[in-house]
């Protein structure tokens, strides 16, 4: 007699915890789209784990009905590494913010990407420290007034996409909290990727940095201020789809398709499987000179960290046998402590 498998829905991943984010926070949207996507992935809650660090974003594991670890500031990737290596059957998500990931957690961020651990790494970027009430973060823009920079930020901000590409991440993408259809699609693409999938989400902190990404969120401006990347298609944007991106040598430039004489075939075509230089050029496109790209910048397949470990262990067993832990501990010089 066969037993029908339960049908997963968003409610399957909804926990019984009260959500403690400020009303209007962009985190609500990311949570809603995550709960929409998880059933489509088809992995049961008991085979799903969310690992977070510290910050507003890091409350996320409480609000998903799955296993969750609210870990140490900046160290979520280290914990996720141990978990995924020891339990490769689990689907592991790391949830973090721009402060947690790029300041105290900067080293961990780089190394989990270069190792290509098979996890999904979602960075909520609001360009501020929200939980600790409004200090500037590594992504805060120059001149930004915050509680710790009353006369303006003088640091050059980190670009998470460039950092990820510099670490040779195999999947790099960006979305926006308010663009719910695009966000859901991007999260699903990340989940389908084998290797470290990194997604930066522009997320509004309406209390301490309201409107930081208004150009990418507002319907009146987002078509001209962002460009949606589509694999194999020319890079066209604008409310009337009348502007495009072409390469002048190795330098991207904006062209008007109505007045420049440039045709669609002359534009830069997006290739998410191209050399990382292509994605790097896109990651450097910033307002106000360019529309900021959203979508999948890069998606390539390389051997994962977990597969490499298992291959190494299998090779060692084939050459030396399974080994005997007790025999190893008792071999060579030993002593007894009394």
Tell me the pLDDT tens digit for each residue of 41-54: 999 999 999 999 99
For 8-18, give one letter per residue: b (16+ CB within 10 A) or e: beeeebeeeee
Q: What is the mean pLDDT of residues 119-125?
A: 98
Say if 329 falls within a structural domain. Answer: no
Say if 35 falls within a structural domain. Answer: yes
Residue 166 has a pLDDT of 97
Q: Answer whether 32's CB lies under 8 Å from 180's CB.
A: yes
DSSP category for residue 258: T
Residue 329 has a pLDDT of 85
Burial (Cβ within 10 Å: 0-12, 13-18, ≥19) of residue 329: exposed
Say if 251 falls within a structural domain. Answer: yes
Q: Which domain holds residue 250?
A: 234-269
Say if 324 falls within a structural domain. Answer: no
Tokens of 171: 């999947």
Percent of the chain at pLDDT > 70 equals 99
Residue 338 has a pLDDT of 85
My answer on whether 181 and 286 are in the same domain is yes
My answer on whether 261 and 134 are in the same domain is no
Say if 319 falls within a structural domain. Answer: no
Q: What is the mean pLDDT of residues 249-275?
A: 96
Residue 311 makes CB contacts below 8 A (sequence gap 6+) with none
Name the domain count of the chain.
Answer: 2
My answer on whether 117 and 155 are in the same domain is yes
Residue 335 has a pLDDT of 83
Q: What is the mean pLDDT of residues 278-283?
A: 97
Residue 333 has a pLDDT of 86
My answer on whether 262 and 136 are in the same domain is no
Model pLDDT for residues 168-205, shown as the tens digit of each residue: 999 999 999 999 999 999 999 999 999 999 999 999 99
Model pLDDT for residues 302-324, shown as the tens digit of each residue: 999 999 999 999 999 999 999 88
DSSP category for residue 218: -
My answer on whether 14 and 43 are in the same domain is yes
My answer on whether 294 and 161 are in the same domain is yes
Question: If DSSP states are collapsed to H, E and C, what string results for 159-196?
Answer: CHHHHHHHCCCCEEEEEECCCHHHHHHHHHHHHHCCCC
My answer on whether 275 and 183 are in the same domain is yes
Say if 1 falls within a structural domain. Answer: no
Confidence of residue 3 (pLDDT cuts 50, 70, 90): low
My answer on whether 91 and 56 are in the same domain is yes
Q: What is the mean pLDDT of residues 288-313?
A: 97
Residue 1 has pLDDT above 60, yes or no: no
My answer on whether 103 and 192 are in the same domain is yes
CA distances from 185 to 34, 173, 202 (A): 10, 11, 15
Say if 264 falls within a structural domain. Answer: yes
My answer on whether 70 and 123 are in the same domain is yes
CB atoms within 10 A of CB 319: 7
- Lowest-pLDDT range, 11-25, 44-58, 136-150, 324-338? 324-338
Residue 228 has a pLDDT of 98
Q: Whole-prediction pTM value?
A: 0.94
- What's 223's domain CATH number? 3.40.50.970
Say if 321 falls within a structural domain. Answer: no
DSSP category for residue 155: S
Confidence of residue 125 (pLDDT cuts 50, 70, 90): very high
My answer on whether 155 and 252 are in the same domain is no
My answer on whether 62 and 195 are in the same domain is yes
């Amino acid at each position: 007699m066969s037993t029908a498998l339960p049908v997963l829905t968003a409610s399957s991943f909804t926990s019984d915890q009260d959500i403690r984010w400020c009303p209007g926070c962009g985190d609500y949207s990311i949570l809603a789209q995550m709960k929409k996507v998880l059933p489509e992935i088809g992995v049961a809650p008991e085979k799903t784990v969310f690992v977070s660090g510290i910050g507003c974003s890091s409350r996320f594991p409480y609000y998903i009905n799955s296993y969750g670890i609210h870990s140490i500031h900046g160290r979520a990737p280290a914990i996720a590494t141990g978990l995924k290596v020891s339990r490769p059957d689990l689907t592991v998500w790391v949830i973090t913010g721009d402060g947690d990931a790029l300041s105290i957690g900067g080293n961990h961020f780089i190394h989990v990407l270069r190792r290509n651990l098979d996890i999904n790494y979602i960075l909520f970027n609001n360009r501020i420290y929200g939980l600790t009430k409004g200090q500037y973060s590594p992504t805060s823009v120059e001149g930004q007034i915050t509680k710790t920079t009353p006369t303006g930020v003088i640091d050059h901000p980190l670009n998470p996409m460039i950092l990820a590409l510099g670490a040779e991440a195999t999947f790099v993408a960006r979305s926006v909290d308010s663009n719910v259809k695009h966000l859901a699609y991007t999260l699903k693409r990340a989940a389908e990727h084998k290797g470290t999938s990194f997604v930066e989400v522009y997320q509004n902190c309406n209390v301490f940095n309201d409107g930081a990404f208004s150009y990418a969120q507002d319907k009146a401006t987002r078509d001209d201020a962002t460009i949606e990347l589509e694999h194999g298609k020319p890079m066209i944007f604008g409310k009337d789809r009348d502007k495009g991106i072409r390469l002048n040598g190795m330098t991207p430039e904006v062209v008007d398709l109505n007045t420049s004489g440039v045709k669609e075939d002359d534009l830069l075509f997006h290739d998410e499987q191209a050399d990382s230089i292509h994605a790097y050029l896109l990651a450097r496109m910033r307002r106000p000179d360019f529309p900021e790209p959203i979508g999948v910048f890069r998606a390539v397949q390389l051997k994962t960290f977990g597969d490499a470990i298992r291959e190494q262990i299998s090779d060692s067993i084939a050459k030396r046998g399974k080994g005997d832990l007790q025999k190893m501990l008792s071999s060579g010089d030993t002593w007894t402590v009394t």
